[in-house]
Structure 1
């Protein structure tokens, strides 16, 4: 079992980012945290994104600083840490429990196969210097994201939620990342079984205030 200090957590995150999945997990776990907004993509305010450098030299959110000063980066790692650090919250199977292997598999899949592609999609010049190739690259990346959601949907066996009758960090992760482009309408089309799950997560009353503040359901949010 992961040990913990019940002092204050510090989370570097950003409104509308993948860090909101971590914010949601801590909310469901009933764990207070100090939030530091760091908008790493805001070219008009680079100092906002630079705030996270104190915790993550990759200049990426989320980053979680534990009370003793230890730093966790990578959304998948943070979510899995929360499962073990706060077992009473029941946000996923613990080591040795049924379903644990699938939790590890699919959290890692969302992180490696889908979430990582936004580093390319959000700034195609990182890999393709010629602007003439950016549109085609972005289109191919979005197609790949949709394909990966479809592959996952074909292999999971959801009940009310992806791992059973109770929500887990996996559900939170999918609900947040599926709101990025190509956005929810396409996600619903390629992943109809997971579509029902993320709608339940969207409607969880315990998260209503968080969604409204950090990832609002504004006009056109589904795409």
Structure 2
């Protein structure tokens, strides 16, 4: 049995948060590039792995398949506790850890499926524009809820990096104007997320998989 993880992912996608966790944990993995949201062939190809035709999908060394980014990140944090990337079962911080990981997945991440392609749900340019505007507003509102619900230290859940930080660091970059709206909606969280951006262990990963191009944060 190989000790290698296989991750179906794409540059700039939610899979990059999983890549970041695997990197921090120093686990061996290979990436199968699948830009499913812009490449119909990739979407069909990954259907054999994930019927939702989405990334990320993680194949464990024993062949077990995992999908859903939050589930993968929680599992990695729990399975490799020496990495200290999440509150373990029995830890007083566990309820908050699970609450906010699930919140980001359900309340924020899921809205990008709608925002990016409103035509999945509605017809016509006017309806699409309305959906786009309202999902952007809802995403900002959810970031504000996260901001209000946390008392961050160096990172979102305290003074230790967690997979929640990696998750938010990636998802908060998907706005059309960079992170500017995230910073306005969640000002308490900005320093911690910038700390993730600057983590030297992730420098090569960010450069390859989600580069910080000039002006990326927005205005």
TM-score, normalised by the number of residues in structure 1: 0.94
Query: In structure 2, which of residues 180, 201, 216 is the aligned counterpart of residue 206 of structure 1?
Result: 201
Q: Which residue of 2 aligns with 1:8?
A: 4
1:218 aligns to 2:207 (yes or no): no
Of 85, 94, 116 in structure 2, the residue corresponding to residue 100 of structure 1 is 94
Work out the CA distance in 2 between the residues paired with 1:202 and 1:7: 28
User: What's the counterpart of residue 181 of structure 1?
Assistant: 175
CA distance in 2, matches of 1:100, 1:214: 30
Q: State the distance in 2 between where 1:84 and 1:37 align.
A: 26
Shift of 1:53: 2.0
Residue among 133, 149, 159 paired with 2:153:
159
Between the aligned partners of 2:45 and 2:203, the Cα distance in structure 1 is 27
The normalised TM-score by structure 2 is: 0.95
Aligned mates of 2:49, 2:61 — CA distance in 1: 13
The structural deviation recorded for 1:6 is 6.7
Q: Distance in 2 between matches of 1:218 and 1:51?
A: 30
1:138 aligned partner: 132
In structure 1, what is the Cα distance between the partners aligned to 2:155 and 2:2? 29
Structure 1 position 146, deviation (Å): 0.4
1:67 to 23, 46, 61: 61
Whole-angstrom distance in 1 between the partners of 2:126 and 2:188:
37
CA distance in 2, matches of 1:217, 1:152: 24
Go from structure 1 to structure 2 and tell me whether the alpha carbon gap of 1:85 and 1:6 turns closer, same or farther (over 3 Å shift).
farther
Secondary structure of 2:47's aligned partner? helix
- What count of residue pairs does the alignment treat as equivalent? 217
RMSD: 1.3
Local SS of the residue matching 1:12: strand
Q: Contact conserved, 1:147 with 1:190, CA < 8 A, in 2?
A: yes
Note the residue ranges of structure 1 that are not aligned, 5 or more in a row: none
Please say if residues 9 and 16 of structure 2, whose CA atoms lie closer than 8 Å, have aligned partners that are also in contact: yes
Q: Secondary structure, in 3 states, of the residue corresponding to 2:51?
A: coil
Provide the C-alpha distance between the structure 2 equivalents of 1:171 and 1:127, rounded to a whole number of angstroms. 31
Q: Could you list the runs of 4 or more consecutive aligned residues of structure 1 that deviate by over 3 angstroms after TM superposition?
A: none
Superposition deviation, residue 110 in structure 1: 0.3
